[in-house]
Amino acid sequence: MTDDTLPVPEDQPPQMPQTTVAWRTLLWRISTTSISDLGRGKSKHGRNVDSVIDAANLPAELATLIQVVVRATRLWQSERVDVARELACHFRDGLDAGNAPADLEQQFGDSFLAARLIRQSRIRCRPSWWFAWRYSKLTVALLFLMYGGIAARFFLSRPTISRFYIHEINDNVRAVPEAQRAWPIYRDALKLLKPYPKLEQGQSQELAEGWWATESNLVDHDSLAWTQMLSFVETNRTAIERIHEAARRPDRGIIYGHREDNLANRSGDYTPVIEVLLSQVQEMRTFARLLTADAAVASAQRKRDRLAKDLQSLIAIADQAHGHWVVEDLISTAIMQLTMSTIRDSLEDVPDLLSDDQLVEIAHRFAAYRGGGTIRFDLHGEQLLLDDLLQRCYTDDGHGNGSLTPEGLKLLRKLPGDLWGEKNESSTKIVTQTILAPAVMLRSMSRRESREIQRQLFAEVQSAHSGPWYTWSTWDPAEDFFQKEQQRFAAGKRPDLALIPAFSIPRLFFTSIAQCNSAAEQLCQLRDGTLTAIALELYHRRHGDWAQTLEQLVPHDLPELPLDRFTGQSLRYRIQDGRPLVYACGMDRQDDGGRHPNLLAGGGIQHQQLFTRPATEPAPGAGYDWVLFPRPRRAPQERE
């Protein structure tokens, strides 16, 4: 269709340049065309509806009718001009045929209906790009609307906190009679505790860092350090007695976040599990170190009952320290290791000090610690922590499911984890992330899915490391699980972000689960080595000579042969320089003749490598064994 012809009334010439050349110049066309029509590639070169109607020289009522209809169509300017021109021509023809204006107006019909129909039909004539643009706009608007709805749902959602786990745990503690709770007495002991004396200039820094507790009986008994430790122990005699009293209590009695414990800076039963500080149990390690020092003094001064009492209390404190969380279990494990170190030193330095009955009783308590056998951290507290975090992140539909909330996303952002990237981000990035947050919610795991994955994770980790070292098929089952799930999610076209609710929380503690299980394995190996040392001493007392083989200890002194947890065979044993030597092979699984790393000449690292992940060749700890008895120690002269 062309619109080059223009109705030109004789009495009203259009405003245009004088020359034909000027009339057709592009500049003129552009200058007289609206921007909207230019944008559509249309040029009306100076015409508008009014000029077209005027040019037709129609009666007023017909001119008004055209104006009303054309205006009501709300079409593009060029389309309106076209319609107006056609209608004007139509009326002009009608008038020329002798029709009265009123008749033509009546024949026209309903002007607004006409406008609507004309609009609909003219729009159908528009180019395809216009429809593409229109539907694109509609689609975008619809998407925005949908996203707005999703965003509103997301930003208005709130987590449903239905359980207060700390409150439940504390309620169980409060149900125990006050007279059976240990912690109130420990709290008193803590108040009575005097600090370790200030070190003299030049004194070994190791003493200040707690070596006095673990290797105190190696200190030269004429040295200033030993004198200071004696003074320290005696100064704290009252506190030590209180600790013994507390250790005899059957229940630990720690109320998390108790306001009287200024150690715990958070108070209240309704604190999120993740924010509860376990400072009380940290203090139990301090008590254990003090008792270890007291045991060293008792051993040096050959005070049998005092040593036995210290050992019994140490085991009791280790039992009490064992609680809900891995951190508590690790502290409990550390206290047990201190205790086992103390008795092994005692068996080596003053073998005849403890009586048979005392040794047997201590051995039975060692064997009964955490039920005996393979000791594992049950991760009960961590499961509570995850459940608590889930309920603080998700809504609850009443059937165990729900969606991620803004509060949850904010909480997850606070947690460590490489899935989130940098923590210190620009405000622009934060705004972007806020805008994208509803999309994250859409793609992230549901509450049920997150919980299910966490349950699987717990089950797989516990299953993979349920046995001794030599049965482990993987060092880090949690990381294996994470990678497997990430691959599964990638295959399902779900982004890493979707994994955040389920993964960022467990990664808090599962990244070190192998180390935790390894620590538990070390404790099992130490326990078996210590029990073997006690059994050897009891055998020696009965027979006046050392057993030639470990088999001779079974079943009178040991129920079964002690296990080398690295190899699955029995512990290695031989008599060396008239003294028994008990050892395990270490991670290289090779018998190196009971050669323990020299703790002075970088042997500390090699000692650690005995328990390190066997990922390199040669295996870490190669060439060395883990000597369990006598305990590898630095000689006093080496310490200087």
Partner 1 sequence: MRVDRELMRGAGPVAVLKLLESGEKYGYELVEQLEQRSKGVLAMGQSTLYPMLYNMESQGLVKAEWRESDLVRGRKYYHLTSKGKKRLAADLQQWAALVQAFGSLGILSSDANPTLGGATP
If DSSP codes are grouped into helix, strand and coil, which group holds residue 464? helix
Which of 571, 613, 567, 321 has the alpha carbon at shortest distance from 467? 567
Exactly one of 84, 94, 244, 588 binds partner 1 (CB under 8 A); that residue is 94
The nearer residue to partner 1, 93 or 241, going by C-beta atoms, is 93
108 lies in the site for partner 1, by CB under 8 A: yes
The nearer residue to partner 1, 37 or 496, going by C-beta atoms, is 37
Q: How many CA atoms lie within 13 A of 627 on its CB side?
A: 23
The nearer residue to partner 1, 94 or 501, going by C-beta atoms, is 94
56 lies in the site for partner 1, by CB under 8 A: yes
55 lies in the site for partner 1, by CB under 8 A: yes
Q: What are phi and psi of 64, to 5 degrees?
A: -65, -40
Exactly one of 61, 110, 168, 220 binds partner 1 (CB under 8 A); that residue is 110
16 lies in the site for partner 1, by CB under 8 A: no
Exactly one of 15, 35, 124, 398 binds partner 1 (CB under 8 A); that residue is 124
Mark the segment that binds partner 1 (CB under 8 A) among 116-124, 453-461, 521-529, 625-633. Answer: 116-124
Residues 6+ apart with CB under 8 A from 403: 154, 157, 394, 395, 441, 446, 447
107 lies in the site for partner 1, by CB under 8 A: yes
Exactly one of 29, 48, 68, 90 binds partner 1 (CB under 8 A); that residue is 90
Encoded tokens for 484: 């497997």
The nearer residue to partner 1, 85 or 465, going by C-beta atoms, is 85
Exactly one of 40, 44, 80, 85 binds partner 1 (CB under 8 A); that residue is 85
Exactly one of 87, 185, 239, 389 binds partner 1 (CB under 8 A); that residue is 87
The nearer residue to partner 1, 3 or 496, going by C-beta atoms, is 3
Conformation bin of residue 630: beta by default, left when phi > 0, alpha when psi is -120 to 50 = beta
Mark the segment that binds partner 1 (CB under 8 A) among 101-109, 141-149, 318-326, 392-400. Answer: 101-109
121 lies in the site for partner 1, by CB under 8 A: yes
109 lies in the site for partner 1, by CB under 8 A: yes
Angle between helices 447-464 and 380-393 (to 10 degrees): 160
1 lies in the site for partner 1, by CB under 8 A: yes
- How many residues bind partner 1 (CB under 8 A)? The answer is 35
141: number of Cβ within 10 Å: 10
CA angle 619, 625, 631 (to 5 degrees): 140
How far apart, in whole angstroms, are the C-alpha atoms of residue 183 and residue 185? 5
- Work out how close the CB of 134 gets to partner 1 at its nearest, in angstroms, rounded to a whole number: 15
How far apart, in whole angstroms, are the C-alpha atoms of residue 170 and residue 364? 31
- Work out how close the CB of 25 gets to partner 1 at its nearest, in angstroms, rounded to a whole number: 22
The nearer residue to partner 1, 91 or 611, going by C-beta atoms, is 91
118 lies in the site for partner 1, by CB under 8 A: yes
- Work out how close the CB of 14 gets to partner 1 at its nearest, in angstroms, rounded to a whole number: 13
Q: What does the DSSP 8-state code read for residue 603?
A: I
70 lies in the site for partner 1, by CB under 8 A: no
CA angle 170, 242, 341 (to 5 degrees): 90
111 lies in the site for partner 1, by CB under 8 A: yes
* Whole-number Cα distances in Å, 70 to 120, 293, 508: 13, 103, 70
Q: What are phi and psi of 251, to 5 degrees?
A: -120, 140
The nearer residue to partner 1, 83 or 354, going by C-beta atoms, is 83
How far apart, in whole angstroms, are the C-alpha atoms of residue 165 and residue 391? 11
Following DSSP, what letter does each residue of 160-211 receive, concatenated? -----HHHHHHHHHHTS-GGGBSHHHHHHHHHHPPPPPPPPTT--HHIIIII
How far apart, in whole angstroms, are the C-alpha atoms of residue 262 and residue 181? 18
Mark the segment that binds partner 1 (CB under 8 A) among 22-30, 113-121, 175-183, 252-260. Answer: 113-121
The nearer residue to partner 1, 3 or 479, going by C-beta atoms, is 3
Angle between helices 77-96 and 60-73 (to 10 degrees): 150
114 lies in the site for partner 1, by CB under 8 A: yes
The nearer residue to partner 1, 85 or 289, going by C-beta atoms, is 85
Which helix (H) or strand (E) element contains residue 626?
strand 626-629
The nearer residue to partner 1, 127 or 618, going by C-beta atoms, is 127
Encoded tokens for 432: 């972007």
Instruction: Judge contact between 36 and 78, C-beta under 8 A.
Output: no
- Work out how close the CB of 151 gets to partner 1 at its nearest, in angstroms, rounded to a whole number: 39
**Residue type, position 409, single letter:** L
4 lies in the site for partner 1, by CB under 8 A: yes
Strand duo 626-629 + 579-584: pairing:
antiparallel
- Work out how close the CB of 39 gets to partner 1 at its nearest, in angstroms, rounded to a whole number: 22
83 lies in the site for partner 1, by CB under 8 A: yes
The nearer residue to partner 1, 98 or 578, going by C-beta atoms, is 98
120 lies in the site for partner 1, by CB under 8 A: yes
The nearer residue to partner 1, 96 or 200, going by C-beta atoms, is 96
Chain contacts with partner 1 (rule: CB under 8 A): 1-8, 55-56, 83, 85-87, 89-90, 92-94, 96-97, 107-111, 113-114, 117-118, 120-122, 124-125
